[in-house]
Amino acid sequence: MAMPAPPRITGLNENLAREVLELHTLGVAGGGGRYGPWGGYTQADVTALAAVLTGWRGPRPTDAAPDAGSADPFDPLWHQPGNKTVLGRNFAEGPQALREVLDGLARHPSTPRFIATKLARHFVADEPPLALVDRLAQRFAETDGDLSAVYRALIDAPEAWAMAPAKLKTPEEFVLSAARLLRLGDRLATRAPDAGLTALGQRPQAATSPAGWPDTASEWLGPEAVWQRVEWSVQVADRLGMAVDARTLAASSLGPLLGEASRQQIERAADAPQALALLLMAPEFQRR
């Protein structure tokens, strides 16, 4: 029986290397605006990091054996030989190079500001206060990249609590918060939450970028996106509105955040389904 031909190697795959630099450490070269500077790497750095990554692999189908945990994730036969230069530093070939490169990336001056901006932008506001980003970046740097310490600094930051809810929920956050509010997971007829995400244009596992769906509303919010929310809210309300008391839900879920205008609209709804749809589309429920 003829043996299958070995896979043809056509060159380095730079995708993961670029993602490590652009999405997880230094940020987009020349990016950041007032939150920057980010970046600081070149195409040569991307190529060199791709060479450092050669030889590393994930689990293979044959690793399903009981002793698979002992399988070495680094295969020297697939590692590109020779020294590599990343961000001006020279690294000897071998598995230790990856750890050394990642340590250097974590200590690069762009990384604290990029990570701090991502955290503040995700949890506080699309355009977070610069003072908050500065504080988080400083905490990242002085703790040698201890993310737990950075998270605590974010939680303790007055800016994280002084602002009114400024983040418009992403489609995922909106659908999941509605599912939690209404316990949609127990109601198979709603086909939620996956069906809801698909209806709102962000089907799970279908983001067109390795960065995932954008975290800022300006990237996806528009008239069509708002109308999709209205339609989905009405569909859910038509199915479940008679089974819940939207007026009670509004008070218990939003509490003091529920504005008088939204409260009156829900109270004056023509029927229970309309009241639930108004709750789901209330500005206070749409933001976090």
When mean pLDDT is compared across 137-141, 186-190, 279-283, the lowest value belongs to 186-190
Position 71 confidence tier, pLDDT thresholds 50, 70, 90 = low
- What whole-number percentage of the chain has pLDDT above 90? 70
Predicted confidence (pLDDT) per residue in 236-253, tens digit: 999 999 999 999 999 999
Predicted confidence (pLDDT) per residue in 150-178, tens digit: 999 999 999 998 878 889 999 989 998 99
> What is the predicted pLDDT for the residue at 69?
52
Taking residues 46-62, report their average pLDDT.
Answer: 88
Position 63 confidence tier, pLDDT thresholds 50, 70, 90 = low
Task: Round the average pLDDT of the chain to a whole number and report it.
Answer: 89
pLDDT at residue 190 tops 50: no
What single-letter amino acid sits at 168? L
> What is the predicted pLDDT for the residue at 188?
47
Domain boundaries, the chain: 110-160, 171-285
pLDDT at residue 254 tops 90: yes
pLDDT at residue 62 tops 80: no
pLDDT at residue 109 tops 60: yes
Instruction: Show Cβ contacts of residue 207 under 8 Å, excluding neighbours closer than 6 positions.
Output: 213
Instruction: Show Cβ contacts of residue 252 under 8 Å, excluding neighbours closer than 6 positions.
Output: none
